Structure 1
Amino acid sequence: MRLKQFPIVILLSLFHFLSYSQPHTKLWNGKKCAVVLTYDDALNIHLDKVIPALNAFNFKGTFYLIGSSPAVTNRIPEWRKAAAQGHELGNHTLNHPCDGTLPGRDWVGNENDLTRYTVARAVNEIRINNAFLKAIDGKNERTFAYPCGDFTIHDTLYYNQLKNDFVGARGVASGFLPAKNVDLTNISAFIEDGTTAAQMIAQVEEAEKANSFIVFLFHGVGGEHPMNISLEEHQKLLEYLKKREKDIWVTTMVEVAKYIRQSQQ
């Protein structure tokens, strides 16, 4: 009797394992976790080095563009081509205003000091940048990234007036959350500055263990910005992600935000 029951016990155990473990390991578009590669401040090196590197692996990145940046206004056809290839052109405001009263913000000029803005001005400039970006890529859906991670103007959350303009907004606080707990007005991100590929890969593996996702926040990749990682380390990360493509969903911020929004309904 015991011998006859033994296979049944095994089959029941296997059934329960598959029933309960599978949803937790395939939560992200049928994969174990999601990775979003985001690049801030509209740098020439993003067009010259980063996008070709992503294209070589058939990966899509999110590039948060400052509308007034010469690297945008002087290279519109190249950004349009990048969008046509599937890369997201995100909104990083028209003039990148930051709170100049905070420590280490001596570089913030009066004209770009967020504390000198009104909420109406901030909202207007962001919407102007949205119109500009649509003129480049023709798209209505995109995400926003807070310059310097600053959320408020005189204690007012200015993004509250922009929730219907974007699919989501990327912040700067790191963390691994399940999709149902993600605040789409402040999507977590990991700032990379001088980081090695090994360190970034470890972060991806932590996201995978947590059944979560990770948003990488890059600025310079091989130079052009004080916050920088090397091209070589960036390349190694891409190579790792390509090898793990079966388990890792590498996509844009707008696609992950849409996926999270749908999962929360």
Structure 2
Amino acid sequence: MQKISLILLIHLILMFNASAQTDNSWHGKKCALVLTYDDGLNIDLTNVIPALDSVGLKGTFYISDYFNGLNAQINKWRIAAAEGHELGNHTIWHPCDGSLSGRSFVQPDYDLHTYDVRRMDNEILAMNNILKAIDGKSKRTFAYPCGDLKIHDTSYLDPLKNEFIAARGVKGEMLPMDKIDLYNIGCYTMNGQSTDEMIALVRKAMASHTLLVFLFHGVGGEHSLNVSLEAHSGLLHYLKQHENEIWIAPMIAVAEFIKSNRH
């Protein structure tokens, strides 16, 4: 009888520890969630930041300047950064491998297939300098343009890993803390999804105690990958209503937390 009681007690302790570990994985909440927005589009400043600010949430904005619009945006990005939004590095010219299928939009001068690692890394470092001039910060995260991690068969970010806390890719996945590759964090690219479809992803992350990263381009226009203002707003209001269950933070905060807390 005592042996059975001891086994039961050990089982209960293990179950409690497992539960406590799950509950505390993401600041005591069910999951972590990052809202990322690519390219530094004008709608980020006109549509997205006001929407985030209206519900008190913070986003991560991966900025590039392939459309030569950054100069006119600098003051607004500086204000956004001062208010807690993250400015991330998305290179200057957004080079992608134009040799791949569906890449007719890639301009010949910025075809990653014609780059070498040194040229790419110099461009990334230059963008870090630009961003520091805007927000004054040295710690940064990166997002791979088009999700391309390599030049030919070489990972171009490997020489720069000390320059970045983490990097976001484009693979659609949500993982627990101990399974996340901080230099290829998965995400879900949004294009035409409804509020309900996006909320379904959030609920899945909550149920699995994982990290969910959303990737937006257009929000109410300006990009071929687009979600409506209404769908985006519906997601934000759902997240705000469930803040007690979901840790919503910029990528850099989540990445630093992962580095400090996983074993």
TM range (shorter): over 0.9
Deviations 1:132-188 (A, max 9, x none): 000000011110000000011121100101100000000000112111111111001
- Under a length normalisation based on structure 1, what TM-score does the superposition of the two structures give? 0.93
- Under a length normalisation based on structure 2, what TM-score does the superposition of the two structures give? 0.93
Q: Which of these residues, 219, 222, 227, is aligned with residue 221 of structure 1?
A: 219
Gaps of 5+ in 1: 1-9
Q: Which of these residues, 44, 48, 51, is aligned with residue 50 of structure 1?
A: 48
Counterpart in 1 of 2:20? Answer: 22
Deviation of 1:205 (Å): 0.9
Contact 1:26–1:33 (CA<8 Å) still a contact in 2?
no
Counterpart in 2 of 1:104? Answer: 102
Q: Which of these residues, 213, 230, 245, is aligned with residue 228 of structure 2?
A: 230
Counterpart in 1 of 2:118? Answer: 120
Counterpart in 2 of 1:195? Answer: 193
Deviation of 1:20 (Å): 3.0
Q: How does 1:1-265 map to 2 (within 5 A)?
A: 18-265=16-263
Gaps of 5+ in 2: 1-7
Deviations 1:54-87 (A, max 9, x none): 0111111000000454332211000000000000
Contact 1:194–1:229 (CA<8 Å) still a contact in 2?
yes
Pairwise CA RMSD: 2.1
State the percentage of identical aligned residues: 51
Q: How many corresponding residue pairs?
A: 260
Deviations 1:95-135 (A, max 9, x none): 00000011111111111100111100000000000000000
AA matched with 1:105: R
Moved more, 179-188 or 68-77: 68-77
Moved more, 133-142 or 26-35: 26-35
Contact 1:36–1:253 (CA<8 Å) still a contact in 2?
yes
Change over 3 Å in CA distance of 1:17–1:264 after alignment to 2: closer
Deviation of 1:17 (Å): 5.0
Contact 1:180–1:263 (CA<8 Å) still a contact in 2?
no
